[in-house]
Chains A and B, each alone.
Chain A
Amino acid sequence: MKYLSEYRDQKLAEEFIKEIHRITTKPWTLMEICGGQTHSLVKNGILEMLPEKISMVHGPGCPVCVTSLSIIDEAIYLAQQPNVIFCSFGDMLRVPGSTKNLLELKAEGADVRILYSPLEAVTIAKENLEKEIIFFAVGFETTAPANALSVIHADKLKINNYSILASHVLVPPAMEAILSDDENKIDAFLAAGHVCTIMGMEEYFPVAKKYKTPIVVTGFEPVDLLQGILMAVQQLEKGEYKVENQYARYVQREGNKIAKETINKVFDVSDRIWRGIGSIPHSGYEVNDRYKKFNARLKFKINLPVAEENKECISGDIMKGLKKPKQCKNFGTKCKPEHPLGAPMVSSEGSCAAYYHYSNAENVLA
Chain B
Amino acid sequence: MNLQCPMPKFDFDSITLGHGSGGLLTHRLLQSGVFDIFKNDLLDQQHDGASFNLNGNIAFSTDSYVISPIFFPGGNIGDLAINGTVNDLAMCGAAAKYLSLSFIIEEGFTMDEFWKILVSIKFAADKSNIKIVTGDTKVVEKGKGDKIFINTSGIGIIHPKANIHHKNIEAGDVIIVSGNIASHGISIMSLRKGLEFETNIESDTINLNHTIISLLEKFGNDIKFFRDPTRGGIASVLNEIAELTKLGFYIDQKLIPIDEQVDAACEMLGLDPLYVANEGLFMAIVKKEIANNFLATLQHDKNGINAAIIGEVTKVNAGKVIMKSRIGGKRVVNYLTGEQLPRIC
Contact = CB atoms under 8 A, between A and B. Distances in A.
B344 A44 contact: no
13 contacts: A10-B328, A44-B325, A46-B327, A89-B344, A91-B343, A91-B344, A117-B194, A349-B343, A357-B332, A360-B332, A360-B334, A361-B320, A365-B332
A13 interface: yes
A153 interface: no
A247 to B, nearest CB: 14
A139 B345 contact: yes
A272 interface: no
Given A1-B260, A4-B264, A116 B328 contact: no
A214 B26 CA distance: 75
A248 interface: no
B322 A364 contact: yes
Given A4-B264, A116-B194, A46 B329 contact: yes
Interface in A295-326: none
Contact of A4 (B267, B322, B344): B267
Contact of A44 (B254, B329, B332): B329
A8 B264 contact: no
A337 B326 contact: no
B30 interface: no
Interface in B232-265: 248, 254, 260, 263-264
Contacts of A4: 263-264, 267
A46 B328 CA distance: 9
B273 to A, nearest CB: 12
B2 interface: no
A260 interface: no
Given A348-B341, A366-B314, 15 more contacts: A10-B326, A10-B327, A44-B326, A44-B329, A46-B329, A63-B345, A64-B344, A94-B338, A103-B338, A222-B326, A222-B327, A360-B334, A364-B332, A365-B317, A365-B331
B342 interface: yes
Interface in B305-345: 314, 316-317, 320, 322, 324-334, 337-338, 341-345
Contacts of A13: 327-328
A90 B334 contact: no
Q: Which of A140, A222, A364 has the largest number of chain B CB atoms within 10 A?
A: A364
Given A1-B260, A366-B316, A114 B341 contact: yes
Interface residues of B, number: 32
B330 A139 contact: no
Contact of B334 (A8, A14, A348, A358): A358
Contacts of A117: 194
B3 interface: no
B327 A116 contact: no
A43 interface: yes
B270 interface: yes
Contacts of A42: 331
B330 A116 contact: no
A114 B320 CA distance: 33
B54 interface: no
Interface string A83-122: 0000001111110000000010000000000111100100
Nearest to A136: B344
A348 B330 contact: no
Nearest to A46: B329
B320 A194 contact: no
Q: Which of A139, A194, A222 has the largest number of chain B CB atoms within 10 A?
A: A222
Interface string A130-174: 000000001110110000000000000000000000000000000
B322 A365 contact: yes
B264 A143 contact: no
Interface in A1-48: 1, 4, 8-10, 13-14, 36, 42-46, 48
A186 interface: no
A358 B345 contact: no
A356 interface: yes
Nearest to A146: B345
A8 B327 contact: yes
Interface in A345-361: 348-349, 356-361
A48 B342 contact: no
A348 B343 CA distance: 6
A143 B345 CA distance: 7
B327 A90 contact: no
A338 B331 contact: no
Nearest to B269: A116
Interface string A320-342: 00000000000000001110000
Contacts of B316: 366
Nearest to B268: A116
B195 A116 contact: yes
Contacts of A348: 270, 341, 343
A356 B341 contact: no
Contacts of A115: 194
Nearest to B264: A1
A190 interface: no
Contact of A138 (B267, B333, B344): B344
Nearest to B337: A337
Contacts of B267: 4
B225 to A, nearest CB: 23
A232 interface: no
Contact of B329 (A45, A89, A90): A45
Contact of A89 (B322, B337, B343): B343
Interface string B182-200: 0000000000001100000
A93 to B, nearest CB: 6
A25 B182 CA distance: 44
Contact of A45 (B317, B331, B342, B344): B331
A120 B326 contact: no
A64 B345 CA distance: 11
Which 9 A-B pairs give the minimum distances between C-beta atoms? A45-B329, A90-B341, A337-B337, A13-B327, A366-B316, A358-B331, A90-B342, A44-B325, A8-B326
